[in-house]
């Protein structure tokens, strides 16, 4: 029987937007000004950890990755991602993330179809995630995030920080 967890998590993440408090008009104006001055290109470096049920065992690995996105609007961006989980997992994740800002907040939802590449084997992957982006002057940002990857009926949790630059 197929797991319904990906669908339930996606629904929970989408409904979570209604629970997030909205920013004030002054904060939103400052957010849009920073975004407009910085440009539509977003590059992020991810550093974190992956926790996975791997071949019947619970595994933990250091993860590092990079992402490029293009902002289609101030609420939506799409791009490419590559991430490597070290040690016992020794696996690459690649995909095409769609990132949506929740309303007028800095909360972001990620939905990503992709692939997990491990030991010469490639399997379909779906990632759903949530993060909160702290923007700084000069187009820089820091985003704590949590993602869940589903591959072949197994779920992995990926947590960490993304360091971004918008230009």
Spell out the domains of the chain, with CATH numbers in brackets.
5-12+41-137+145-166 (2.40.160.20)
Tell me what pLDDT residue 130 has: 98
Q: Distance (Å, rounded) from C-alpha 49 to C-alpha 61?
A: 6
Tell me what pLDDT residue 17 has: 43
pTM of the full predicted structure?
0.78
- CA nearest 65: which of 151, 134, 147, 139? 147
**For the segment 78-121, what is each residue's pLDDT rounded down to a tens digit?**
999 999 999 889 999 999 999 999 988 999 999 999 999 998 99
Regions of the chain with pLDDT less than 50: 1-2, 4-5, 7-24, 26-27
Q: Distance (Å, rounded) from C-alpha 4 to C-alpha 156?
A: 15
Tell me what pLDDT residue 20 has: 40
| Residue 5, token pair as written in the block | 């967890």
Query: Burial letters for 21-37: b for 16+ Cβ neighbours within 10 Å, e otherwise?
Result: eeeeeeebeebeebbee
Contacts of 27 (CB under 8 A, 6+ apart): none
3-class SS string, 9-34: HHHHHHHHHHHCCCCCHHHHHHHHHH
Q: Distance (Å, rounded) from C-alpha 95 to C-alpha 111?
A: 10
Tell me what pLDDT residue 88 has: 82
């Amino acid at each position: 029987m197929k797991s319904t967890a990906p669908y339930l998590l996606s629904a929970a993440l989408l409904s979570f937007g209604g629970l997030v408090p909205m920013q004030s008009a002054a904060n939103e104006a400052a957010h849009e000004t920073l975004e407009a001055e910085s440009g539509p290109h977003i590059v992020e470096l991810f550093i974190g950890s992956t926790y996975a049920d791997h071949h019947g065992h619970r595994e933990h690995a250091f993860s590092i990755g990079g992402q490029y996105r293009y902002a289609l609007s101030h609420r939506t961006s799409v791009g490419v991602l590559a991430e490597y989980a070290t040690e016992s997992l020794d696996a690459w994740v690649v995909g095409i993330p769609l990132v949506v800002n929740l309303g007028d907040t800095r909360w972001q939802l990620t939905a990503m179809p992709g692939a997990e590449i491990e030991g010469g084997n490639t399997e379909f992957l779906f990632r759903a995630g949530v993060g909160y982006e702290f923007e700084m002057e000069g187009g820089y940002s820091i985003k704590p995030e949590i993602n869940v990857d589903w591959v072949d009926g197994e779920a992995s949790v990926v947590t960490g920080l993304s360091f971004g630059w918008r230009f």
